[in-house]
């Protein structure tokens, strides 16, 4: 039996990094926040799970400044395990807790590419799990398995563990979705089908936190799959190591959701480092999953009737086999092409009003 424990969704400040050495400054800040959060939260129950949002190790330098892919591999991508995970591992050992974090990382089988990955450290400080992000948004340069599909399935196959790996731990079975992945119900469902009881889901930017998308998605992923969702979101963001002013580009609202979609804890303030803390009860989740004849949706899933939804490809695969993910304009071009494909199929219908033509600036009058 797994006893109840406290989980923490940290909300650290980020300092954007221009080189790999800058990452340690962020880890020092995260370590201070961990110590403070555990000191207070363990008064209630032992803290066994500590989660760190996306971007809090390296920032989002490649996305904000539209870096070249190989430049990021050479100058910023981390090795997992590596010095950074070893430093975080000391916190795991100190507090006898599992730590989940995210980084843009190198991959031994794809030496000139970087991936966006979530990783789990056990209470001994060892990396026991890694998940490679499956879905990215239009300003992210990370490679995903779909970009190198043929090579990926040759290496890892096409089973659930190749795309939706789950770690079976002493505090429950844990899976990970990162940021944009949580916008797709299929990613969390894949983890649930593979046995996940707790889903780590960092992070989301403004204005999509303030307008409710973040909360709706987190609660829906928990409710859909009868699982906990621990969703840490960053605090304020200094774009570069020497920036003097911070930007609240994420809006906070770190949260923990239970297996019925209820908010257990939420920290709504975004402009300073803090955290949300809440109780995880895996035993209660397991009882509900195996006894309820209502809210356990996965049990009633009639899979055959949904296969036809995915028979036709939408987003093209293997785009990264011969080249790297491009700059922002390249991503936009691909997405516009996909939208045209959906229009041609009749999935989308063109609006009645024509798309407005770009405004041409008026000439300045001559002196």
Q: Give residue-wise pLDDT tens across range 87-97.
A: 999 999 999 99
Mean pLDDT of 242-266: 96
pLDDT of residue 361 exceeding 80, the answer is no
- What pLDDT was estimated at residue 327? 82
The closest of 268, 256, 194 to 225, measured between CA atoms, is 194
Q: What is the pTM of this model?
A: 0.94
The rounded mean pLDDT for the chain is 94
- What pLDDT was estimated at residue 330? 80
| Residues 9, 231 contacting (CB under 8 angstroms) | yes
Give me the residue label for tokens 């370590």.
31
Q: What's the rounded Cα separation, in Å, for the pair 337 and 115?
A: 24
Four-point Cα dihedral 190, 255, 65, 241, nearest 10: -130
| Residues 263, 255 contacting (CB under 8 angstroms) | yes
Supply 167's token pair: 């770690």
Phi and psi torsions of 15, nearest 5°: -115, 120
Helices (H), the chain: 23-41, 61-64, 69-75, 83-95, 149-156, 160-163, 185-193, 213-225, 282-291, 328-345
Q: What percent of the chain has pLDDT over 90?
A: 86
Q: What's the rounded Cα separation, in Å, for the pair 294 and 223?
A: 12
pLDDT of residue 270 exceeding 70, the answer is yes
Beta bridge partners of 177: none
pLDDT of residue 357 exceeding 80, the answer is no
How many C-alpha atoms does 77 have within 13 Å on its Cβ side? 25
pLDDT of residue 191 exceeding 70, the answer is yes
Residues 6+ apart with CB under 8 A from 288: 226, 259, 260, 295, 296
- What pLDDT was estimated at residue 271? 86
| Residues 199, 7 contacting (CB under 8 angstroms) | no
Domain 5-302: CATH architecture, name and number where available: 4-Layer Sandwich (3.60)
Mean pLDDT of 338-362: 81
Q: What's the rounded Cα separation, in Å, for the pair 356 and 82?
A: 51
- What pLDDT was estimated at residue 355? 66
Q: How many residues does the chain have?
A: 367
Helices (H), 44-135: 61-64, 69-75, 83-95
> Regarding beta strands 274-280 and 254-257, do their DSSP bridges make them parallel or antiparallel, or are they unpaired?
unpaired
Phi and psi torsions of 40, nearest 5°: -85, -40
Supply 319's token pair: 């785009």
Q: What are the domain boundaries of the chain?
A: 5-302, 310-345
Q: What's the rounded Cα separation, in Å, for the pair 234 and 202?
A: 9
Supply 44's token pair: 């209630």
Mean pLDDT of 47-51: 98
Q: What's the rounded Cα separation, in Å, for the pair 21 and 76?
A: 8
Instruction: Tell me which DSSP letter residue 145 carries.
Output: G
| Residues 245, 252 contacting (CB under 8 angstroms) | no
pLDDT of residue 365 exceeding 60, the answer is no
| Lowest-confidence segment of 25-29, 252-256, 313-317 by average pLDDT | 313-317
- What pLDDT was estimated at residue 269? 87
| Chain centroid to CA 271 | 20
pLDDT of residue 353 exceeding 90, the answer is no
Mean pLDDT of 341-348: 92
């Amino acid at each position: 039996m797994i006893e109840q424990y406290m989980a923490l969704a940290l909300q650290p400040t980020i300092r954007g990094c221009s080189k790999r050495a800058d990452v340690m400054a962020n880890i020092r800040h995260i370590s201070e926040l961990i110590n403070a959060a555990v000191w207070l939260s363990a008064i209630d129950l032992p803290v066994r799970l500590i989660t760190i949002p996306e971007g809090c190790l390296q920032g989002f330098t490649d996305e904000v400044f539209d870096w070249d892919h190989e430049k990021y591999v050479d100058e910023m991508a981390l090795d997992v395990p590596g010095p950074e995970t070893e430093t975080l591992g000391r916190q795991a050992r100190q507090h006898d807790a599992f730590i989940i974090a995210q980084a843009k990382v190198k991959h031994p089988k794809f030496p000139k590419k970087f991936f966006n990955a979530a990783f789990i450290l056990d209470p001994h400080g060892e990396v026991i799990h890694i998940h490679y992000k499956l879905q990215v948004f239009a300003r992210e340069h990370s490679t995903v398995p779909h970009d190198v599909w043929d090579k990926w399935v040759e290496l890892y196959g096409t089973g659930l563990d190749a795309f939706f790996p789950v770690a079976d731990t002493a505090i429950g079975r844990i899976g990970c979705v990162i940021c944009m992945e949580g916008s797709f119900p299929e990613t969390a469902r894949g983890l649930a089908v593979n046995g996940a009881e707790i889903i780590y889901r960092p992070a989301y930017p403004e204005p999509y936190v303030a307008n409710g998308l973040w909360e709706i998605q987190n609660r829906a992923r928990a409710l859909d799959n009868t699982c906990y969702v621990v969703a840490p979101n960053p605090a304020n963001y200094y774009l570069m190591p020497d920036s003097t002013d911070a930007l609240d580009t994420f809006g906070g609202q770190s949260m923990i959701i239970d297996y019925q979609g209820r908010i257990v804890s939420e920290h709504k303030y975004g402009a300073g480092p803090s955290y949300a803390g809440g109780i995880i009860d895996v035993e209660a989740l397991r009882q509900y999953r195996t006894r309820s004849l209502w809210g356990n949706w996965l049990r009633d899933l009639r899979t055959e009737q949904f296969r036809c939804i995915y028979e036709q490809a939408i987003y093209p695969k293997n785009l990264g086999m011969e080249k790297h993910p491009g700059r922002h304009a390249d991503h936009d071009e691909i997405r516009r092409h996909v939208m045209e494909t959906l229009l041609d199929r009749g999935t989308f219908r063109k609006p009645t009003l024509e798309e407005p033509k770009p405004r041409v600036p008026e000439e300045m009058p001559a002196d």
